[in-house]
């Protein structure tokens, strides 16, 4: 009989995190949605059906992260998978106008959050193995102007992924990361409507000529956490339609 795996996914009330939660639940996992909006997390868990739970959690705060992991392990009967998806955006302001308080908050949510959740979940995985999936970004692999805090945070997540993978391989914990490109989430659509991003320009820069759908990121994430990736650890998988691979002049694609 196949073991039913238990997964905790942070920032999973919306966007990529919600797509990940749906995909993992479809694969038979019991899900703990940990989100800073506890009410919305509970609502999303109810949408997934019986056996899933929603938890309020600020991953940047040590006590909150530890409490959420303890509650998830107790409710689910253990934790086999962690997805560190929670994050916040940066301001896109010119560097000379960037505020150190927001800079530090971006680093704290992404880096501290990934570290704290991974450390706490690993305590429950020790001896039984498991899989941790971190969410990096194209912003952590290449240079994007004005994206100082976000880029530094995502680059740090990519490096932390490799460090933890090497340290924990011997106890059966695999640690990998996704590096998504631009994804057609509700947030991106809001930024487009506000004139903060030019979708057409982005699509021309992507060799595949379009933004990803959240479900496509979720499929790649499930692969890295599934038995199909049993010999994969320390990997940073670009899911970006060819963005990182392209280095020619001009547009990467045409309408």
Q: pLDDT, tens digit, for every residue of 237-246?
A: 999 999 999 9
pLDDT tens profile 40-89 = 999 999 999 999 999 999 999 999 999 999 999 999 999 999 999 999 98
- Cα atoms found within 13 Å of the Cα of residue 103, Cβ hemisphere only: 13
What CATH number is associated with residue 85? 3.40.50.720
The pLDDT of residue 180 is above 80? yes
- The separation between the first and the last C-alpha atoms of the chain, rounded to the nearest angstrom, is 49
Asked if residue 252 belongs to a domain, the reply is no
Using alpha carbons, list the distances in angstroms from residue 231 to 27, 79, 102, 113, 235.
Answer: 20, 20, 38, 26, 10
DSSP letter assigned to residue 112: I
3-state secondary structure of 247: coil
Contacts of 95 (CB under 8 A, 6+ apart): 146, 148
Categorize the per-residue pLDDT at 230 as very low, low, confident or very high, splitting at 50, 70 and 90.
very high
Using alpha carbons, list the distances in angstroms from residue 104 to 36, 81, 100, 113, 205.
Answer: 18, 28, 6, 13, 30
Asked if residue 64 belongs to a domain, the reply is yes
Does pTM surpass 0.75? Answer: yes
Asked if residue 110 belongs to a domain, the reply is yes
Count of CB atoms within 10 A of residue 60's CB?
Answer: 20
Q: What is the pLDDT of residue 165?
A: 98
> Which stretches of the chain are assigned E, i.e. beta strand?
6-10, 30-35, 53-56, 81-84, 130-135, 173-180, 236-239
Q: Look-up: residue for tokens 């999973």?
A: 12
Residue 221 to residue 19: CA distance in whole angstroms: 10
Asked if residue 172 belongs to a domain, the reply is yes
The pLDDT of residue 187 is above 80? no
Domain that holds residue 216: 6-239
Count of CB atoms within 10 A of residue 227's CB?
Answer: 8
Positive or negative CA dihedral for 90, 180, 237, 87? positive
Asked if residue 253 belongs to a domain, the reply is no
pLDDT tens profile 109-139 = 999 999 999 999 999 997 778 999 999 999 9
Tokens of 177: 């990361």
Q: What is the pLDDT of residue 1?
A: 52
The pLDDT of residue 103 is above 90? yes
Tell me if residue 150 is catalytic.
yes
Q: Can you give the C-alpha Rg of the chain in angstroms? A: 18
Please tell me which residue in 18, 24, 150, 243 is annotated as part of the active site. 150
> Is the CB of residue 69 less than 8 Å from the CB of residue 79?
yes
The pLDDT of residue 196 is above 80? no
Q: What is the pLDDT of residue 39?
A: 98
Residue 120 to residue 11: CA distance in whole angstroms: 17
Q: What is the pLDDT of residue 236?
A: 98
The number of folded domains in the chain is 1
How high does pLDDT run on average in the chain? 95
Asked if residue 251 belongs to a domain, the reply is no
Q: What is the pLDDT of residue 126?
A: 78
Q: What is the pLDDT of residue 128?
A: 77
Categorize the per-residue pLDDT at 188 as very low, low, confident or very high, splitting at 50, 70 and 90.
confident
Asked if residue 245 belongs to a domain, the reply is no
- Please calculate the CA angle 17-21-26 and round it to the nearest 5 degrees: 150
């Amino acid at each position: 009989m196949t073991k039913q795996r238990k997964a905790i996914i942070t920032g999973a009330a919306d966007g990529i995190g919600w797509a990940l939660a749906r995909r993992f639940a479809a694969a038979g996992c019991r899900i703990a949605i940990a989100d800073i909006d506890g009410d919305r997390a509970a609502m999303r868990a109810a949408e997934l059906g019986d056996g899933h739970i929603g938890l309020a959690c600020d991953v940047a705060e040590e006590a909150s992260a530890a409490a959420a992991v303890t509650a998830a392990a107790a409710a689910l009967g253990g934790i086999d998978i962690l997805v560190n998806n929670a994050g916040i955006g940066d301001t896109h302001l010119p560097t000379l106008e960037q505020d150190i308080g927001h800079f530090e908050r971006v680093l704290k949510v992404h880096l501290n959050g990934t570290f704290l959740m991974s450390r706490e979940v690993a305590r429950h995985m020790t001896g039984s193995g498991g899989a941790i999936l971190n969410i990096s970004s194209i912003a952590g692999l290449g240079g994007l102007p004005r994206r100082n805090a976000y880029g530094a945070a995502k680059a740090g997540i990519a490096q932390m992924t490799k460090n933890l993978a090497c340290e924990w391989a011997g106890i059966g914990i695999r640690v990998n990361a996704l590096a998504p490109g631009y994804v057609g989430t509700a947030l991106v659509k809001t930024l487009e409507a506000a004139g903060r991003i030019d979708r057409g320009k982005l699509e021309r820069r992507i060799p595949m000529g379009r933004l990803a759908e959240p479900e496509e990121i979720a499929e790649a994430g499930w692969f890295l956490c599934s038995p199909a990736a049993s010999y994969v650890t320390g990997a940073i998988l670009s899911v970006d339609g060819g963005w990182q691979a392209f280095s020619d002049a001009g547009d990467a694609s045409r309408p």
